[in-house]
């Protein structure tokens, strides 16, 4: 039997999985690394810590399973998206990577999107060009690739002069493995410098000219199902693998997770809750809703698009609460949080949590939003607050789901649930109740992105004949049905959730703009 080794390079750790071609995870391993914040609103990582995590988890899997390196048929990666890393001609990083959470380049985002008249904060002509060519626009918060690129050019000219290529996180791993400077269509799409129209899938000369960016600074574009190259002898020696094995392009974590859920056919939905959260579905052609900051991006397969409504914080809300509860002690485990939440009534005794701890992407592009507990009283206990957090993330997902369904003209019959949050049976039931849709909990949901990257590689290597066949291979672990008796409760709570946003968005802008 031949195996596929897949790595999911997340925000806080690398999760590795050894898979069979039918999606069975034989072994897994994880290694963590830190996010550095040298200044307010900065978020950086040292790329060397990524590669060290890849090396350690690879070796652990080989040691634990006894699988011989020659039995590894292919290597692939999923990775956090919208990072910006300048490297020299040898692929050596010239600074730490500004990861997706980094918001230092808000000024550059405003400069890149300037123009008159303005529509939703964007210059009309530039907005039209982006929508027509790239099917989306850079976020005004400064967290997208374009703004970070301009920040390097404007604020670190000495680094800009030495920059051979600008890479995302996964691109760095592909170069470290193969020696090639490549990125996949999905990651290229989120630079907002790519022509994503049908039959093109290339860097856009028009958009590059608009921002005075040289094509030479960007890596080559390939499909996620394409072989990026062969594992170099040096990389093989570092990882303990055999030189020359195929390295498949893979996908960004969002796109890989979509594949790993098995919801690969058009209009099949999934929801993911990790550090962030999103609702997504594959579609046959591009879709965009500028007002909601929801759009399709290139999928792992060149014939498909993936509509994504990305929420800035999902599981991060629970992690924040765990640390807050702990004080100077040990935080409660996730199982302990689950048990506590399960013991409190649906609706959290009228308590409402707003999950916007770091602004929001979708269904509103609003970097000034912040989190809050509303309607808090002396009657509320810790369990009510934790349950309100679970429900608040679910209410935001319901908002996003409604926007996606309206955009594509199709309703979700059910949603497959992936990411670390899907390990919680409590959250699975809350989502079913709040969304009023069946929720299909996946097996080993923390490894969904790694499984997805592995299945992309299985297709690229001819082990899975058709891309849509993946949907029949991967199945769920448990199904949670919405409880009809809670329908009116969560309908009312959702109305209050939306009303609070409408009434208070100007407050958040006044309180946080410029901070």
Q: How far apart are CA 55 and CA 49, in angstroms?
A: 10
Specify the pLDDT at position 513. 84
Q: How far apart are CA 2 and CA 131, in angstroms?
A: 43
Q: How far apart are CA 448 and CA 257, in angstroms?
A: 5
> How many C-beta neighbours within 10 Å does residue 112 have?
24
Asked if 270 contacts 278 with a C-beta cutoff of 8 angstroms, the reply is no
Q: How far apart are CA 211 and CA 190, in angstroms?
A: 16
Q: Which of 7, 204, 176 is nearest to 85 (CA)?
A: 176
Asked if 386 contacts 349 with a C-beta cutoff of 8 angstroms, the reply is no
Asked if 465 contacts 405 with a C-beta cutoff of 8 angstroms, the reply is no
Low-confidence ranges of the chain (pLDDT < 50): none
Q: How far apart are CA 229 and CA 192, in angstroms?
A: 25
Give every CB contact of residue 128 below 8 A, 6+ residues apart in sequence. none
Specify the pLDDT at position 292. 85
Q: Which residue has the tokens 């996180």?
A: 169
DSSP reduced 3-state for 9: strand
Beta strands at 288-289 and 277-283: parallel, antiparallel or unpaired:
unpaired
Distances (CA, A) of 200 to 113, 194, 250, 420, 488: 24, 9, 20, 36, 47
Q: How far apart are CA 406 and CA 440, in angstroms?
A: 22
Specify the pLDDT at position 92. 98
Q: How far apart are CA 465 and CA 338, in angstroms?
A: 40
Q: Which of 188, 194, 191 is nearest to 174 (CA)?
A: 188
Residues linked to residue 298 through DSSP beta bridges, in sequence order = 305
Tokens of 286: 């591009």
Tokens of 21: 């071609």
> How many C-beta neighbours within 10 Å does residue 219 have?
23
DSSP reduced 3-state for 375: coil
DSSP states along 406-465: HHHT---S-EEEESGGGG-HHHHHHHHHHHTS-EEEESSGGGHHHHHHHHHHHHHTTSSS
Q: How far apart are CA 360 and CA 352, in angstroms?
A: 17
Asked if 183 contacts 170 with a C-beta cutoff of 8 angstroms, the reply is yes
Q: How far apart are CA 438 and CA 453, in angstroms?
A: 26
Asked if 326 contacts 332 with a C-beta cutoff of 8 angstroms, the reply is yes
| DSSP letter assigned to residue 84 | B
Asked if 195 contacts 209 with a C-beta cutoff of 8 angstroms, the reply is no
Specify the pLDDT at position 475. 79
């Amino acid at each position: 039997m031949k195996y596929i080794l897949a790595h999911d390079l997340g925000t806080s750790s690398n999760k590795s999985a050894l898979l069979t071609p039918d999606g069975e995870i034989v072994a897994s391993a994880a290694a963590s690394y830190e996010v550095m914040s040298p200044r307010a609103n900065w978020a950086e990582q040292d790329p060397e810590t990524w590669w060290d995590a890849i090396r350690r988890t690879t070796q652990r899997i080989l040691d634990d399973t006894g699988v011989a390196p020659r039995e590894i048929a292919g290597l692939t990666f999923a990775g956090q998206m919208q990072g910006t890393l300048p490297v020299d001609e040898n692929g050596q990083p010239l600074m730490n990577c500004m990861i997706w959470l980094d918001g230092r380049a808000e000024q550059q985002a405003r400069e890149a999107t300037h123009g008159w008249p303005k529509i939703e904060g964007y210059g009309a002509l530039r907005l039209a060009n982006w929508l027509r060519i790239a099917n989306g626009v850079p976020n005004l918060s400064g967290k997208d690739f374009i703004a970070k690129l301009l920040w390097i050019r404007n604020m670190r000219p000495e680094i800009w002069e030495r920059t051979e290529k600008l890479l995302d996180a996964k691109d760095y791993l592909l170069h470290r493995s193969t020696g090639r400077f490549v990125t996949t269509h999905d990651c290229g799409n989120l630079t907002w410098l790519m022509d994503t129209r049908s039959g093109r899938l290339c860097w856009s000369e028009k958009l590059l000219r608009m921002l005075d960016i040289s094509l030479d600074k960007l890596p080559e574009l390939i499909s996620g199902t394409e072989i990026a190259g062969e594992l170099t002898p040096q990389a093989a020696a570092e990882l303990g693998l055999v030189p020359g094995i195929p390295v498949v392009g893979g996908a960004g974590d969002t796109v890989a997770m979509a594949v790993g859920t098995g919801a690969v056919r058009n209009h099949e939905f999934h929801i993911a809750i990790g550090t962030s959260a999103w609702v997504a579905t594959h579609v046959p052609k591009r879709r965009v809703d500028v007002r909601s900051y929801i759009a399709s991006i290139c999928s792992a397969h060149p014939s498909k698009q993936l509509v994504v409504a990305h929420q800035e914080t999902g599981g991060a809300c629970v992690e924040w609460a765990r640390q807050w509860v702990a004080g100077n002690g040990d935080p409660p485990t996730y199982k302990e949080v689950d048990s506590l939440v399960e013991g409190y009534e649906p609706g959290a005794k009228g308590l409402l949590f707003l999950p916007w701890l770091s602004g929001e992407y979708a269904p509103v592009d609003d970097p000034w939003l912040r989190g809050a507990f509303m309607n808090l009283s002396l009657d509320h206990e810790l369990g009510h607050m934790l349950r309100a957090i679970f429900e608040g993330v679910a209410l935001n997902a319901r908002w996003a789901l409604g926007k996606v369904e309206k955009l594509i003209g199709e309703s979700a019959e059910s949603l497959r649930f992936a990411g670390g949050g899907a390990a919680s049976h409590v959250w699975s039931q809350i989502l079913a109740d709040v969304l009023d849709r069946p929720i299909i909990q996946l097996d080993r949901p923390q490894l969904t992105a790694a499984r997805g990257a592995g299945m992309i590689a299985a297709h690229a290597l001819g082990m899975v004949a058709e891309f849509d066949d993946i949907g029949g291979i991967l199945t769920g672990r448990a199904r949670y049905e919405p409880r009809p008796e809670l329908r009116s409760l969560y309908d009312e709570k959702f109305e209050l959730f939306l009303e609070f946003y409408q009434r208070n968005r100007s407050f958040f802008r006044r309180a946080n703009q410029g901070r």
